[in-house]
Amino acid sequence: MSEKRIMAVVTTNKDIIWGGGCPIIEATSFEEMERIALYLSRILDGAVHDLENGIYIIVKH
């Protein structure tokens, strides 16, 4: 099994994120978050996962 890695975080709720290790991008609306996540996923070949609390993570599988 290859190693999984969070490549980026996109969020509308920056207050609940602590720490880092990867770029964290704040979006002003849900639509913007979707769009940024889509762009990042296509650029980075990563899959977008929804943590259902206003946070999308882009993960390389």
**Residue with Cβ nearer another protein (27 or 48):** 48
Q: Residue 39: which residues within 8 A CB-CB, separation 6 or more?
A: none
Of the CA atoms within 13 Å of residue 41, those in its CB half-sphere come to 16
Q: Residue 36: which residues within 8 A CB-CB, separation 6 or more?
A: 10, 25, 27
Residues 21-40, interacting with another protein (CB under 8 A) = 34, 37-38
Q: Does 49 bind another protein (CB under 8 A)?
A: yes
Shortest distance (Å) from residue 26 CB to another protein: 17
- The residues of the shown chain that bind another protein, judged by CB under 8 A, are 34, 37-38, 41-43, 45-50, 52, 56-57, 61
